[in-house]
Amino acid sequence: MTDLHIHHTRLTPQMRSVLERMARAGHPPLHTRTPQEARIAYQAGADVLEVPKAALARVEDLQIPTRDGAQLPARLYAPNTDKGLPVLLYTHGGGFTIGNIATHDILCRELARLAGCMVVSLDYRLAPEHRFPTASNDAWDSLQWLAANAERLGADPQRLAVGGDSAGGTLAAVNAILARDAGLPLALQLLIYPGCAAHQDTPSHATFARGLVLEEPAISWFFGNYVTTREEREDWRFAPLLAPDVECVAPAWIGLAECDPLVDEGVDYADKLRLAGVPVDLDIYRGVTHEFIKMGRAIPEARKAHADAARALRLAFHLE
């Protein structure tokens, strides 16, 4: 509890309570397990602090083909059965190593419900079985497939967005750049505490290295599973901050947690986009940690972030 005490005054009472309960539970850290064990443990706890599961008019499982012949599971969520709904491609977090459709099911349902749009949640392939740039390739292949098949799914191909949290936020940011390069217009990139930097060397990585949800040993483990060389770490498809040019990419909504090793690089990426003339709406949720977006039962800021993200989608999709 010593490390948590260091951050005591920064955290909201609700966030402190969650962290204290996590510490008392005494589960081995994910980075001390095998990737398969970590995936099982993460999924087992994924819904514990989530808001109630929303019932939606339409939930369908899909298969999305990739360039190398794989078929990726995906799940389509829609709040109604109307034709021509705008659509968000969502890529889940988990350090490129853990997470799946099930771990982010409730979050994707909330985004669909609150934004009034279709959400397609992607099960991209995970490291270390599938290393860089597989996840990025899977995300881009899926966005191109979604654009080509939107009408068949009942979506509006003219109103597409990308989004994700943590590593999934990285993939969404990369997709936005690739879409710009391919002439595929996007309404929005919805980035929830995205990883953006090649190396974990910002002040927030030092300040929040211990005692919170995402700790330095876990970051090193996650990224070590995915990128194995310096060249891969410094490829902009892993570190969007190193992208040579972000002019004319989609407008961004960026939601960050104040007490998060990744907060500084999220702010840096917002600045990079703004300097390139890209409209950016940046929200930093005070006193909360990485992963807070999935703690809506306990953390009021999560429910606020759900509403803020949904409003950004509605505005981008011209729904209000």
166 carries an active-site annotation: yes
Q: For residues 196 and 200, what is the distance between their CA atoms, to the nearest angstrom?
A: 10
Q: For residues 248 and 252, what is the distance between their CA atoms, to the nearest angstrom?
A: 11
Catalytic: which of 142, 166, 204, 281? 166
Whether the Cβ atoms of residue 171 and residue 240 lie closer than 8 Å to each other: no
220 carries an active-site annotation: no
Catalytic: which of 31, 92, 290, 306? 290
List, in order, residues 6 or more apart from 283 with CB less than 8 Å away. Answer: 253, 254, 255, 256, 305, 308
Catalytic: which of 165, 260, 264, 281? 260
260 carries an active-site annotation: yes
Q: For residues 117 and 257, what is the distance between their CA atoms, to the nearest angstrom?
A: 25
Supply the residues annotated as catalytic. Answer: 166, 260, 290
